């Protein structure tokens, strides 16, 4: 847990403070994103936590300990640190780079080696290939990975990241963000993450602190930020397409239970029953499962009207618009748009039927929370 109380930072020669009487609390295991325009004090705020900058006044607590009274070297050894320029040491191999903190902590060599290999594997770099290389032989994306591996190698409970994915192309950035989220899900560290990119903030953050002129304008979850921005500044920052952005945040699993719809049919049901069920349905079709609730296909009103068969098995056909529960509402929307249908069927990973989501459901969600 990280707690900032009444933090002010004045740089000599500047009239306005870079950070002005700021309070912030980051819960354990949360990713707290500091976001705002250039010069809003977000980086300065972050760098006071490991005392790269000393606050002019105020208190900082990390896990209940007063940071300003600790030995800064010891403090920093237990806080992972990644900066935008990455700052890999060009004269050291990747292995030596990643082993920086273990070496400072005087870990035994085998333990260090093992941990370095594990970390490199975790960030997707094969230790056998990359250990002996120098940073100059790596691509930008690979360097970012090494930077993250180096910061996490001793498994510090807290990480500070200053635009860690800022210096790579958009495609690589998205991939690194996804990988990072995947890793964070496993390690759940307390992270302070600085960015100027609101989309990155929404994607990465459990909590977002929007900053302006050294103050926090709004501190909220991504969803709250999008649904109820505190003022015009925040609203402008998150942009006009807030609703679309919010669809990114909500997973299908979260809304599926709240939707009441008639259940699926099985193939051995009489055709009349199936017809009745379709008539009740708002999508004019019914999903078909077997007795183990495994998804089989769909029967639509149009096929049934043709009267070409005797049993349900004669009418069933495959459905393309399938999606898993873990996908976001935005994923569901794009599947619908691609297939040109107003609904998708939700299935689990082993094809168990979970329900359907319609365009109307998406509208309801956006409306409800707006």
Partner 1 sequence: MKRLIPINLVLPVILIALGILIVVYTANNPTDSLVARMLSYTNMFKALREHFMLMVVSMTGAIIVGVLSGIMLSRPKLYYLGRVVENIVNIGQTVPPLAVLALLFVIMGIGFRMAVFALFLYSILPILRNTFAGIINVQPSIIESAKGMGMSPFRILTRIELPLAFPIIVAGIRTAVVINVGTAAMATFIGGGGLGDLIVAGISLGREMVIFTGAALAALTAILLDHVIGQVEKGLVRWS
In the complex, the residues that contact partner 1 under the rule CB under 8 A are: 47, 50, 52, 73-79, 81-92, 100-101, 104, 134, 136, 147, 150-151, 160
In the complex, least distance from residue 356 CB atom to partner 1, rounded to whole angstroms: 50
Which has the closest alpha carbon to 319: 285, 360, 278? 285
Cα distances (angstroms) measured from residue 53 to each of 18, 50, 131: 11, 8, 33
How many angstroms separate the CA atoms of 303 and 297, rounded? 13
When the beta carbons of 160 and 362 are compared against partner 1, the nearer one is 160
Which has the closest alpha carbon to 265: 333, 227, 310, 316? 316
Q: Go through the chain and tell me how many residues it has.
A: 370
In the complex, least distance from residue 363 CB atom to partner 1, rounded to whole angstroms: 47
Q: What angle do CA 369, 200, 203 make, to 5 degrees?
A: 45
Burial of 258 (0-12, 13-18, 19+ CB in 10 A): exposed
How many angstroms separate the CA atoms of 266 and 287, rounded? 8
In the complex, least distance from residue 74 CB atom to partner 1, rounded to whole angstroms: 7
Cα distances (angstroms) measured from residue 250 to each of 28, 261, 272, 344: 22, 20, 37, 16
When the beta carbons of 103 and 236 are compared against partner 1, the nearer one is 103
When the beta carbons of 133 and 215 are compared against partner 1, the nearer one is 133
When the beta carbons of 82 and 335 are compared against partner 1, the nearer one is 82
In the complex, least distance from residue 22 CB atom to partner 1, rounded to whole angstroms: 20
When the beta carbons of 164 and 222 are compared against partner 1, the nearer one is 164
In the complex, least distance from residue 189 CB atom to partner 1, rounded to whole angstroms: 16
């Amino acid at each position: 847990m990280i707690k900032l109380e009444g933090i002010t930072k004045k740089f000599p020669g500047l009239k306005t403070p870079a950070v002005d009487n700021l309070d912030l609390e980051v819960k354990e295991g949360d990713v707290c994103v500091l976001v705002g325009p250039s010069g809003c004090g977000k980086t300065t705020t972050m760098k006071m936590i490991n005392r790269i900058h000393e606050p002019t006044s105020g208190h900082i607590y990390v896990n209940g300990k007063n940071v300003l009274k600790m030995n800064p070297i010891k403090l920093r050894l237990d806080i992972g640190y990644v900066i935008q320029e990455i700052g890999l040491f060009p004269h050291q191999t990747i292995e030596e780079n990643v082993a920086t903190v273990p070496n400072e902590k005087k870990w035994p060599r085998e333990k260090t080696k093992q941990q370095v290999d594990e970390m490199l594997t975790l960030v997707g770099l094969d230790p056998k290939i990359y250990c002996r290389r120098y940073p100059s032989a790596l691509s930008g994306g690979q360097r970012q990975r090494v930077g993250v591996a180096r910061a996490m190698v001793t498994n510090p409970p807290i990480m500070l990241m200053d635009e860690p994915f800022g210096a790579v192309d958009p495609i690589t950035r998205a991939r690194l963000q996804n990988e990072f989220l995947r890793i964070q899900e496993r390690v759940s560290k307390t992270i302070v993450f600085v960015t100027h990119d609101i989309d990155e903030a929404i994607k990465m953050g459990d909590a977002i602190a929007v900053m302006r002129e050294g103050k926090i304008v709004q501190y909220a979850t991504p969803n709250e930020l999008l649904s109820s921005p505190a003022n015009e500044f925040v609203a402008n920052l998150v942009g006009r397409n807030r609703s679309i952005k919010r669809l990114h945040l909500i997973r299908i699993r979260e809304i599926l239970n709240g939707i009441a719809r008639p259940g699926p049919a099985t193939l051995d049901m009489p055709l009349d029953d199936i017809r009745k069920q379709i008539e009740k349905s708002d999508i004019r079709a019914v999903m078909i499962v077997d007795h183990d609730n495994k998804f089989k296909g769909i029967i639509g009103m149009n096929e049934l009207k043709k009267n070409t068969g005797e049993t349900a098995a004669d009418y069933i056909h495959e459905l393309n618009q399938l999606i898993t529960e873990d996908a976001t509402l935005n994923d569901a929307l794009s599947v619908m748009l691609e297939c040109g249908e107003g609904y998708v069927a939700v299935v689990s990973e082993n094809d168990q039927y979970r329900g359907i989501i319609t365009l109307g459901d998406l509208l309801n969600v956006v409306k409800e929370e707006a």
